[in-house]
Chain A
């Protein structure tokens, strides 16, 4: 709390991003964990909550007649523009947030104070929900070819790897240690995914320290061992996910890539995925496009192209597709690496696994996939997502890209995934929120040292508890597409990759489809389930009554069934929405500013009610268009499905237009 210079500023304006006409007047609060804006409008009192850890940049702009503008950009792509009347207050808020958004110790992060009111046992069970040992067992391991190795016990060989690793049976400790010395950060080749149908594996590592000519017998033996572990194929692919030029440049630094001359029976392949710096800049450029105020179609498409973002997404997908084909069609094992083997390698291995194995397309399986390929194998969450104050050059949207790849697949295979878009969006949100301990730190070792599991809660348990919100109603667990590999065309079908406005413009509800097919179908399915139950009950009673009548025993059965609600039509009445600014710059319509309530809002923010409020609801943004929220279509009586961006957000525009 010592970093908060001013806990409360009144008469702050929250500017609407889409139409500049409307700005909500309210009070801004700074707490130890959140920035909170509460609107004055007495009927709504809309609250916008932003976690400090979500704050990406804070920009203080030149003071104008109306006040001092403060722009807060969030890592979950929310953009908040505030106008603070006094320059001094703005400065205080700015300075406070600069510090609050860049914690220096893990202990400052929200997960250490977040308390979802679960007891110890529940917390421990939560952490046990996803179990990687179980996952390796599910893959059919250990078997005749692969065994669990204890070589990395106490992180002795590689401190960014987990302790539980699968390696070929023929790879001795000597080979492993030798190989690890020939690999960047000692990240030697280990198993990532095992395709038990044909004994083919996807392995991962970092780049070899080959320089221009160096060799390492043990490393060569390691690759041989991997090849021999899949007896059906006489070669393995070595996929270097970097552009060839980058890999070659690395040779000068004593690193590099495998030479087909030195390693027998490998087929070497470059797949040009750009590095984290290119990706960071690309996202930056794309977000600038998303931020444009009423862009033309050309501005938008040109900017999207110029950002290169979809080209990068496609490169990652192409790599994943290549590997999935090698495994399922050619029956050849693949060793994947990039430089350190924790960014592009994680992306590519997980995309390939997702294509190959329907298990990863289920809710739990997807959690397992992230736990395995990202968390356990030392993807540097802290550095990449800037949880603690650090080198800004380490920050890069690596897992965001993977999450987008999944969304692109969901668009192309609508029945293949058990989960829906909201699931992906919430995972993305929590990678940055630091509300749960799962994504803290840079490696398993660090997490163990911090005793994360004893001190924080697991996101997976939270998501699993609310799994009803995350189901894809179209998911089919029987037919062709969930069985085995998803087949994507290798030919360049560029038009398959689309801009994901549900993610990058997700706080601008006005830009999203106004009715959600997913929510509608979920409501129908829920009702169907109730109907099934009722049908059964009715049949039972009918049978009973018939029997009773047959026996002429006159027992009066009570009419207890309430009359059913008629379908889902009630909530449709709320399909109110307001037009956007269609008139452009023309002054044909006088702007109608909402009558601002001047009453002071007296909100008491105790730490207690802070904690009790569902943090998932904290991400409200002010929106242009108050369209009906179809998540309210739950047949059980209009109760809102909790979702982090629907929530209590009632639109006031309608009223403004009507009273005007």
Chain B
């Protein structure tokens, strides 16, 4: 069913009340993407514009900016709607139920109309306590649905607005139960997802009040919008920084099985939300990561990466793979063994991501490769001789900075053997000589020149490898040819003492008084 925000295609046509001309005019009135809009786009909360079961046929979505006069009209209407609601709540006579649902529906329409619903006005007029009353047990489904919908959109706004939902939380959680109708449970999950998306404090309140188990159970069925909403809400609930929620989730009966099932078979939209759950599980919980690694999760993630072209899905799947490799040494040591098919497949999908046009995929794929390249010598050989190497070399010269930095990690890791103890790490000459021969040095020297401390450090460390490890004393000459000396001398007047000492040390050692005298 069509749902605002969560789907990539609508079922119901958007009815614009005034047509394209008005839309254009509104757009002109708000030329830039304002700060408030940017913030609302980027936050982890989602407005509910169209609900799954609502057959309200004259729902009208006006997406663009509401002009100032319209906003104040909206606020006035909201205040009166709250008044209406108040009288409907206390009304005891005939048709009380209808009256109440009608008042709620009006409230809900006002709160779903625009991108910036009149939340502040609603709260000020006293909407929340009334809505809480409407959530009481035994109320008809329609009433529960409309009340939860109102609360959802109130919670989608600014922090203080979300916090205003505190009195409603226990009831919202209660209506997640298996006795509730599916649309009601889903709408409550949506509201709770917004609350969880606000921050650590509210997450911790929700966890204390027992929100996790019922939401987890809602994720078990095979399909449906409820499953997807529950998964999204869970991803907000477990995102930490505390790892306890993530560990609690993975231990709920049936969850691991459901996650694997959805990764394997679900449609891309559901798989996307489940993948985000896996992202947080693998980033925060050791228990979860090792359970996932021991199952066939990696296989499933690789399959999704291979078969999908949806950026929305690829991001969390790639990141889950990355977290699982970064977080658990067992993965590289026992699962992704060089020579196994699974390992070849992993490299293959990472290459696919490197070739993508999307910045996020390229950067995070390089990060994952850098962690594999931090493994055994065989892992390094595998990457070195794969399609990844020429792509990485090209990215080192041409990609945006944050990608180049990750690529540098991969290439450097390929050239250094795994370290034992505290000694000077050994070089892998074959890789170093070849990569330098294929022109990677200028890219590293470029990093030395950047204002980013981490990048400059990486560059200097790689230069040390070249200076030390190129045969026949070629290192210094190569570095000089690429203006490496000049790059290192910049550090003479650099704030960072560590970098200064590193650069000075290299210059002193390799470009001392004897340098260039015997030419």
Chains A and B bind each other = no
A residues at B contact (CB < 8 Å): none
